[in-house]
């Protein structure tokens, strides 16, 4: 059964920023887009690049290794060379804590 796990405080992630967090045994890229937090798997499906180190523009992150692009809202591929989407995680913010369902 899935449960929400605290991964950060809201003060840890300003709008336009990304952060690598761990939820259970998963490496997760956490993003703040205009005050709303989103979480996707941190590993690019093309060659395993760290998406939390990528460039965030609006709601799309570009992998720093080969330029694959993913929507941080749902993990869907937005541009090659990646052909597969990454997993997205439900996020909730409660009393200053950012939690991910995993």
pLDDT in tens, 34-80: 999 999 999 999 999 999 999 999 999 999 999 999 999 999 999 99
Q: Record the tokens describing residue 62, joined without a space.
A: 């570009």
CB atoms within 10 A of CB 43: 19
- In this predicted structure, the answer to whether residue 17 has a pLDDT above a threshold of 80 is yes
3-class secondary structure, 81 = coil
When pLDDT is averaged across residues 1-28 and rounded to a whole number, the result is 93
Q: What is the pLDDT of residue 2?
A: 79
- In this predicted structure, the answer to whether residue 1 has a pLDDT above a threshold of 80 is no
Q: What's the rounded Cα separation, in Å, for the pair 77 and 44?
A: 10
Pick 25 or 59 by higher pLDDT. Answer: 59
Beta strand segments in 10-63, E: 18-23, 26-33, 36-41, 55-57, 60-62
Task: Determine the CATH number of domain 4-101.
Answer: 2.102.10.10
């Amino acid at each position: 059964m899935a449960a929400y796990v605290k991964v950060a405080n809201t003060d840890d992630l300003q709008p336009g920023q990304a952060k690598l967090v761990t939820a259970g045994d998963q490496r997760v890229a956490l993003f703040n887009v205009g005050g709303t937090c989103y979480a996707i798997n941190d590993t690019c499906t093309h060659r395993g690049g760290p998406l939390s180190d990528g460039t965030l523009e609006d709601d799309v992150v570009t992998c720093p290794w080969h330029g694959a692009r993913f929507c941080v809202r749902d993990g869907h591929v937005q541009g090659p060379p990646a052909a597969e989407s990454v997993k997205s995680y439900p996020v909730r913010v409660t009393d200053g804590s950012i939690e991910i369902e995993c």
